[in-house]
Structure 1
Amino acid sequence: MHHNKRNATQAKRSAIRQFTVSESMELLPFLIHKLSGQGRNSIKSLLAHKQVLVNGSVATEYNRLLEPGQTVAINKERATEKPPLIDLSILHEDEDIIVIHKNAGLLSIASPQENEMTAYRQLTEHVRTENPKGRIFVVHRLDRDTSGVMMFAKSEKVQQLLQESWKDMVKERSYIALVEGRVTKPEGTVSSWLKESSTLKMYSSPYPNDGQHAVTHYKTIRVDKNFSLLEVHLETGRKNQIRVHMQDLGHPIVGDKKYGSKSKALNRLGLHAHVLAFEHPTKGNLLRFQSEIPKSFNNPFRQTQ
């Protein structure tokens, strides 16, 4: 037992200083005596930051009584703090996957030209505080201006499992869309063949079998003469699919200038990834995550009623 401990401490010796206690005394005076070059405040700071160990356990009390034969170790490296997460929060994490809530405005991943704080970069730093070799793998994307639930894999194997069986593994995937105008049908389906123009804008082809088939189901949650709040289920997950299909319906998503919106009722895009439920890629159990509908999505109704 002790040999293993000793080997481990030898490996870390560069970052750790060790002293053996020869006579009974309190911890703070002992440290002041042994670390004669360091000021009293910097020694107190070591205690506060849990960098002092007595016989391998963290000690923070100044008046901790030391006994002869005990070992006092100072770990020069602070316990690693997790970097703060900006515009995202973690809903679930295990050894295989991370599920997050992403705010509107945060890029999922950067295009080669961009080097800003994406969800991908932040989560890579997050996993590396525990495992320096940790990595994050993209499974699906949310547009920058869409908020809500999103998942990443923590290994290439899990990424492939999810991507290959996405249709079978995902049991529920719903969005909330705030759209312009009154949607008169309580529910409906939009189906088209999606293509990308030279300006990277998606559009529905007038010809069948021309492009990627896309199917979107919607239900109304709340409507008035100017706006409708819809629950949207994706049968396929194509780029900008909901945004194009709402424009096709004649009810573009609020704030979506690219796809025909004129309304400035929100200071963001009125699209939110509300629910993601899926079978765990390695354990097989069903997981369901729901991100609350942004409160601002109800504001336009209050103004018009």
Structure 2
Amino acid sequence: MEEKVFYSEENGIRIDVWLSEKIGDLSRSYIQKLLKDKNVLVNGNAVKANYKIAEGDQVTVKIPKEKEPEIVAEDIEIQILYEDEDILVVNKPKGMVVHPAAGNYSGTLVNALMAYCGENLSDINGIMRLGIVHRIDKDTSGILLVAKNNTSHEILTERFKNHDIKRVYETVVHGVLREDFGKIDAPIGRHPVYRKKMAVNTKNGKRAVTHFKVIERFDNATYVKVTLETGRTHQIRVHMSHIGHPVIGDEVYGRKKEKYRIEGQALHAKVLGFVHPLKNKYMEFEAPLPEYFCELLKKIRG
């Protein structure tokens, strides 16, 4: 059982609301279940969900360890851009989830990698995330770097942490960007109300920096090259929405009425550059624009 301890600096907030802010990867309903099962203690005593915290409260949360479901190898075709004994560079299609999670244990990139690589995948993050060093969203296409052993995984994780990986995306956003290029420097954290969403959050967010450059302007849309300086969850989607130019097709951060009907957001991880974890030489790969992206551009231009 995992145990987390927090100390309150606030007063008068319901503990389930307060904890959902502190533990962003747990839903409020799950936190309420923990409270009901007496797995949340305030100053050593179990409390109910309507308890209002006081400054100085010690809050202990006990999270039962869930049994990992069986994840099986599946013969799913994946496009390999590069492979050696330490790493894989793959071009993930739009619509594919990167790794299994609750309610979605098959059809993921990890299931495909298990069939392709056998036991030659890093297991630092457990069977649910074999080989996975970083992620892109289900409806984002493009390049992903996979570790085939724990040594390469540890080195690459450190480089991602230190922002030493070159990551360039291409996207099509609503509206016409006036500037030819620019920088968005705005912290990103959990949305204060909608817990499954991210948002520009100056109070509890982490620093997030996105650079953009206009590739082509249209009457009511802009084709943009985006370079990540940091790598926060949904960073490009949140930042572009924040400046009033949400990604076309984004069902979470985009516009309610979409002129261009596509499945998911028009966002493609096009370029990935890094120093090989063991060969110590710089490598750079490019994933060509997928068909859905080209069709969208054709439709807008037409």
> By the TM > 0.5 criterion, same fold?
yes
C-alpha separation in 2, matches of 1:100 and 1:298: 20
CA contact (8 A) 1:180 1:227 kept: yes
C-alpha separation in 2, matches of 1:251 and 1:243: 9
Q: Does 2:135 match 1:141?
A: yes
Q: CA deviation at 1:159?
A: 1.1
Identity, % of aligned positions? 33
Residue number in structure 2 paired with 1:123: 113
Residue number in structure 2 paired with 1:273: 269
Could you tell me which runs of 5 or more consecutive residues in structure 2 were left unpaired when the two chains were aligned.
1-72, 124-129
Once the two structures are superposed, the pairs formed by residues 129-208 of structure 1 within 5 Å of their partners are 136-166=130-160, 170-197=164-191, 198-207=194-203
CA contact (8 A) 2:247 2:265 kept: yes
Q: For residues 174-207 of structure 1, what are the alpha-carbon distances to aligned partners after superposition, in whole Å with 9 as ceiling and x for unaligned?
A: 0001111111111111111111135210000244
Q: CA deviation at 1:265?
A: 3.7
Once the two structures are superposed, the pairs formed by residues 89-108 of structure 1 within 5 Å of their partners are 89-108=79-98
C-alpha separation in 1, matches of 2:233 and 2:154: 19
Residue number in structure 2 paired with 1:58: none
SS in 2 for 1:243: helix
Q: Give the aligned CA root-mean-square deviation in angstroms.
A: 2.3
Residue number in structure 1 paired with 2:51: none
Q: For residues 65-98 of structure 1, what are the alpha-carbon distances to aligned partners after superposition, in whole Å with 9 as ceiling and x for unaligned?
A: xxxxxxxxxxxxxxxxx97533x31111111111
Whichever structure has more helix as a proportion of its residues is 1
C-alpha separation in 2, matches of 1:178 and 1:295: 14
Corresponding residue to 1:85 among 76, 81, 93:
76
C-alpha separation in 2, matches of 1:133 and 1:271: 27
Q: CA deviation at 1:269?
A: 1.4
SS in 2 for 1:123: helix
CA contact (8 A) 1:276 1:289 kept: yes
Q: Structure 2 vs 1, CA of residues 134 and 164 (structure 1 numbering), >3 Å: closer, same or farther?
A: closer
Residue number in structure 2 paired with 1:230: 224
Corresponding residue to 2:281 among 264, 272, 285:
285
C-alpha separation in 2, matches of 1:83 and 1:295: 25
Once the two structures are superposed, the pairs formed by residues 23-62 of structure 1 within 5 Å of their partners are none
C-alpha separation in 2, matches of 1:245 and 1:169: 18
Q: For residues 249-276 of structure 1, what are the alpha-carbon distances to aligned partners after superposition, in whole Å with 9 as ceiling and x for unaligned?
A: 1010011020023323433310000000
Q: Structure 2 vs 1, CA of residues 255 and 162 (structure 1 numbering), >3 Å: closer, same or farther?
A: same
C-alpha separation in 2, matches of 1:194 and 1:133: 31
Aligned residue identity for 2:239:
H
User: Which has the greater radius of gyration?
Assistant: 1
C-alpha separation in 2, matches of 1:294 and 1:220: 19
Residue number in structure 2 paired with 1:260: 254
Aligned length in residues: 219
TM-score by length of 2: 0.67
